[in-house]
Amino acid sequence: MATYFVLLGPPGAGKGTQAKLAAERLGLAHVSSGDLFRENLSAKTELGMLAKGFMDRGELVPDDVTIAMVRDRLQRPDCKNGALLDGFPRTPAQAEALEAMLSEFGGNVSVAPYINVPMDVLIERLSGRWSCRAAGHVYHEKYNPPKVAGKCDMDGSELYQRDDDKAETVRRRIEVYLNQTAPLLVHYRQKGALVEIDGTLPIDDVSRELMQHLGAAQS
Ligand code: ADP
Ligand code: AMP
């Protein structure tokens, strides 16, 4: 049976950082809805153009297009053993749609790790974030600097700062998280899938704790 994990936490908690490490270790696909929107944006697809306005304002892209995009992604061959979902679901409607599609694919959400980071830390995390153009690898100028400034350690591609990481947009994204996404914590706690992880620890410590939960669920 395929294994699906849902990483929860506010913007800047470290979901992308951890998902990339864990997906590689577990041999699972990393499915990031934000990365999928950014890929569509740089390829100038219709979906990318539609998403742009919402992303620039720090708002959520409407559920119907987001759900269709993720559904399509989860049907690709690299997801046959399951996936590590990062940034999806973000609303109760997306969580319901995910459960419906996973039962169709013969799986369910076995663990939903919640990376808990207090709100005041997030702005500093996001204002120092640098992302790689080629594959969305994530760095921080202070907490996780690349070996060579401006270049990705993994693939050598250029590092850039996301437009939606400016302080004003970050504040809106945090508000949106609190209003629309935080209720999912209750949903996954009620299902017995939620595990809380202290996201203020250094990246390697968070990773170790996360792997304990994910590895146990997969074996
Ligand atoms: P998310 O995907 O949840 O928005 P990211 O993984 O992109 O978050 O991380 C946001 C920023 O915080 C990045 O610059 C990343 O390098 C940095 N970061 C991630 N985890 C930690 C950590 N445990 N301690 C310090 N900085 C971190
Ligand atoms: P992220 O890379 O997860 O920080 O997402 C960047 C932006 O993409 C968000 O601020 C939203 O505009 C959009 N986005 C990503 N995932 C979703 C989702 N599941 N639902 C709606 N919008 C999303």
pLDDT in tens, 141-189: 999 999 999 999 999 999 999 999 999 999 999 999 999 999 999 999 9
Supply the residues annotated as catalytic: 15, 90, 129, 162, 173
Cα 132 to chain centroid distance, Å, stands at: 15
Distance in angstroms (rounded) separating the CA atoms of residues 31 and 54: 20
Report the amino acid identity of residue 218: Q
Residue-level pLDDT at 1: 81
- Distance (Å) from CA 49 to ligand 2 centroid: 14
Q: Is the CB of 180 under 6 A from ligand 1?
A: no
**What's the confidence (pLDDT) of residue 219?**
65
**What's the Cα-to-Cα distance from 80 to each of 4, 12, 84, 107, 213, rounded to whole Å?**
10, 29, 12, 10, 21
Closest ligand 1 atom to residue 199 Cα is 23
- For ligand 1, mutation pick of 119, 143, 154, 198 (most atoms within 8 Å of CB): 143
Report which protein residue has its CA nearest ligand 1's atom 20.
14
Domains and CATH numbers, the chain: 3-117+180-218 (3.40.50.300)
pLDDT of 128: 95
> Mean per-residue pLDDT for 182-207?
97
